[in-house]
Amino acid sequence: MKIITAGESHGKALVGIIEGLPSNLAIDIAEIDGYLALRQGGYGRGGRQKIEKDAVEIISGVRNGLTLGSPLAFMVKNRDYDNWKNYMAPEGCDVTKKTLTKVRPGHADLAGMMKYDQTDARNVLERASARETAVRVAAGSILRQYLAALNVRVSGYVRGVCGINDDKNYTFSDIERAKDNPLFMLDDSKQDEAMKVIDSLKASGDTAGGIIEIRVKGLKSGFGSCMQYSDKLDALLCGAIMSVQAIKGVEVGLGFGCANLPGSKVHDEIFYNGDFVRKTNNAGGIEGGMSNGEEIVLRAAMKPIPTLMKGLKTVDYITKEETVAASERSDVAAICAAEIVVESVVCCTLAEVVAKRLGGDNMKEVIQRYSQLR
């Protein structure tokens, strides 16, 4: 299975292709649009989300609601393109307008301009923008349905925002109700406190980051490999999560907490009661680069949005003069959006790993092969 995306933030559309999906997978477009809507919501988002109203359009690979086994192509149109056509049209446009040379700290602007020999950061930031994650959510929502056919479920919630952290332990069923809350947090008092912090940051022109936790339930043991470092499941998942804009740290299970405890407090002891079981899950469901049948537990740290309304000190790429970075967006916090995106890339990666092991040209074969695994 292979997934590829294309598109610019203010271009005509974001597009994607999924190659290798088996035939006869039922595709629920309303569910995809539901996750796209969740990506656009959450406390602290800005005005652009009211413009876009994202929806997926399937271009090929599906007929009458079922996959055909051919490449599945899809797109999410940029409704804001009408306002940007004069500056972004591939057929020809006025590139002297909407230029950006005041390179923004924390963005791809400066390194990208140097790498791709550009004099306008617009030619870099349009693809580097987190707007690209809309199409990754669409892809992840499609592959979430592939995993669901095997009774593998992926969900998550927000553990913290700008230092307001919820360290309680929750069950998988608990976190499935997080999306009903404005910040995807499960502790109401912590959420109220975090919302007040966001309000304060908005008033001062600042931004916030946070911590996301993702869980995977129902994945059987043996996915990934201990034989090649490139096939280790934790490496693949962590790499995928780190590919999401603004994610600066990832941990599996107990993660960095392992460094502060002796081995007797870290490693999950194994028991047998008709099957192999563990009473703890500090490993986060992955041992030796392979799933072990327990819930997979992943956490990601999102940095604060790097474009601040009050601006940060920078240099104009052309004149080399000191200046203040321009504002390209007005979000204060996008932690809920990041949670949906991280869920989606986890779905994409797991689907690729599952498909590699199971193969199968149609869903009947895939489901049958999965059912035979321990």
Span 65-78, pLDDT tens digits: 999 999 999 999 99
pLDDT value at position 50? 60
Q: Residues 158-200: pLDDT tens digits? A: 999 999 999 999 999 999 999 999 999 999 999 999 999 999 9
What mean pLDDT do residues 23-41 have? 97
Dist CA 36 CA 69 (whole Å): 24
Q: Residues 215-226: pLDDT tens digits? A: 999 999 999 999
Please check the confidence at residue 270 and state whether its pLDDT lies above 70: yes
| Percent of the chain's residues with pLDDT above 90 | 92
Please check the confidence at residue 205 and state whether its pLDDT lies above 70: yes
Please check the confidence at residue 47 and state whether its pLDDT lies above 70: no
pLDDT value at position 281? 97
Is residue 54 helix, strand or coil?
A: coil
Question: Distances from the Cα of 240 to the Cαs of 140, 193, 295, 307, in angstroms?
Answer: 12, 31, 18, 24
pLDDT value at position 328? 57
What mean pLDDT do residues 121-144 have? 96
Contacts of 58 (CB under 8 A, 6+ apart): 27, 29, 72, 73, 74
**Amino acid identity, position 321:** E
Which tokens sit at 41?
A: 């919501």
Dist CA 12 CA 87 (whole Å): 12
pLDDT value at position 168? 95
| Percent of the chain's residues with pLDDT above 70 | 98
pLDDT value at position 329? 60
pLDDT value at position 308? 83
DSSP state of 252: E
Dist CA 45 CA 42 (whole Å): 6
- The closest alpha carbon to 135, from 240, 300, 14, 225, belongs to 14
Strands (E) in the chain, as ranges, are 2-6, 13-19, 56-60, 62-63, 66-67, 72-77, 153-161, 164-165, 210-217, 247-252, 270-272, 276-278, 286-287, 290-291, 296-302, 313-315, 322-324
89-121 b/e (C-beta count within 10 Å ≥ 16 → b): eeeeeeeeeeebbbbbeebbbbebbeeeeeebb
Please check the confidence at residue 52 and state whether its pLDDT lies above 80: no
| pLDDT tier, 28 (very low <50, low <70, confident <90, very high otherwise) | very high
Dist CA 2 CA 5 (whole Å): 10
Please check the confidence at residue 228 and state whether its pLDDT lies above 80: yes
pLDDT value at position 272? 95
pLDDT value at position 163? 94
pLDDT value at position 364? 98
pLDDT value at position 48? 54
Average pLDDT of the chain, as a whole number: 95
Q: Residues 310-346: pLDDT tens digits? A: 889 999 999 999 999 977 567 899 999 999 999 999 9
Phi, psi torsion values for 246, nearest 5 degrees: 80, -5
pLDDT value at position 155? 98
Q: Angle 335-358/363-371 helices, nearest 10 degrees?
A: 80
| Topology of the domain covering 2-371 | Chorismate synthase, AroC fold (3.60.150)
pLDDT value at position 232? 98
